[in-house]
Amino acid sequence: SAVISQKPSRDICQRGTSLTIQCQVDSQVTMMFWYRQQPGQSLTLIATANQGSEATYESGFVIDKFPISRPNLTFSTLTVSNMSPEDSSIYLCSAPTGRGTEAFFGQGTRLTVV
Amino acid sequence: LAKTTQPISMDSYEGQEVNITCSHNNIATNDYITWYQQFPSQGPRFIIQGYKTKVTNEVASLFIPADRKSSTLSLPRVSLSDTAVYYCLVGDMKPGGYQKVTFGTGTKLQVIP
């Protein structure tokens, strides 16, 4: 089974600033996914990060606001830019196990914007 | 992507069997059905996956009727530690494995002593 580590686990940020969240997988994976989960809500997919190409964003999410890097097959970052209180949420990264449509998730990054 | 519908919440007493049903009327031929469990302050955790009929592992069973328009997650003899949100997902299995999936609302299961 894969292990996914996210950093930081939580942060409190000032509005207008940016935060970069790191996601490290202990094995090489082709695709990584970034989700947002607002308090008490389900998960919403932000984007798919493929190594060697630009990330693919879901409707309602744009690269200028959520730039993503994928420098290699085990690592990805998500930046939340020019933050506002509405960006307060839990951000999770996910990667496949290689056995099919199962996926592992990181423990999430709890972001509070004040 | 097929949309899923499941109850918002369920309560159960300890020791009882819990069945959570998920509707996915628009499931496609290549779609698999996967269930995840999420505890507070943690990422979702894979429970079970199936394509048709019945799948059983050490923690749960998954029942899928022939038309595949619904599925039922069965948790035998739940304990307090099974209190969590359970998500039903339907997604395509492409070559190379994982395809992005859409999380539905989930079912919040509360196990009562």
CB pairs under 8 A between A and B: 67
pLDDT in tens, B35-81: 999 998 899 998 998 999 999 999 999 999 999 999 999 999 999 99
SS3 label, residue A85: helix
Cis amide leading into A8 (omega within 30): yes
- Chain A partners of B96 at a C-beta cutoff of 8 Å? 30
Strand order, beta sheet including A75-80: A4-7, A19-25, A75-80, A68-72
Note the pLDDT of residue B93: 58
Q: Is the pLDDT of residue A100 over 60?
A: no
H helix and E strand count, chain A? 0, 11
The residue ranking higher by pLDDT, B102 or A55, is A55
**Residue B104 confidence class, pLDDT cut points 50, 70, 90:** confident
Q: Quick one: average pLDDT of A4-29?
A: 95
Note the pLDDT of residue A98: 61
Q: Which three-class secondary structure string do you get for A18-52?
A: CEEEEEEECCCCCEEEEEEECCCCCEEEEEEEECC
User: Do B46 and A102 make contact, defined as CB atoms within 8 angstroms?
Assistant: yes
Q: Quick one: average pLDDT of A74-80?
A: 96
SS3 label, residue B47: strand
pLDDT in tens, B87-99: 998 887 554 445 6
Q: Tally Cβ neighbours within 10 Å of residue B13.
A: 10
Task: Out of A56-70, A77-91, B35-49, pick the least confident.
Answer: B35-49
Distance from CA of B15 to the nearest CA of A (A): 27
Instruction: Report the alpha-carbon distance of residue A38 to residue A110 in Å, rounded.
Output: 10
Instruction: Report the alpha-carbon distance of residue A44 to residue A47 in Å, rounded.
Output: 9
Nearest chain B residue (CA) to A42: B105
- Chain A partners of B59 at a C-beta cutoff of 8 Å? none
Tell me if B112 sits within 8 A of B14, measured CB to CB. Answer: yes
Tell me if A2 sits within 8 A of A31, measured CB to CB. Answer: no
Instruction: Select the residue from A101, A109, A112 to test the B interface by mutation, using most B Cβ atoms within 10 A.
Output: A101
Note the pLDDT of residue A50: 86
Provide the chain A residues 39-98 that lie in CB contact (below 8 A) with chain B. 42-45, 48, 92, 94-98
Q: Quick one: average pLDDT of A21-41?
A: 92
**Residue B112 confidence class, pLDDT cut points 50, 70, 90:** very high
Q: How far is CA B20 from CA A106, B29, B92, B96, in A?
A: 25, 23, 22, 30
Nearest chain B residue (CA) to A41: B105
Instruction: Report the alpha-carbon distance of residue A84 to residue A19 in Å, rounded.
Output: 11
Note the pLDDT of residue B96: 46
Q: Is the pLDDT of residue B110 over 60?
A: yes
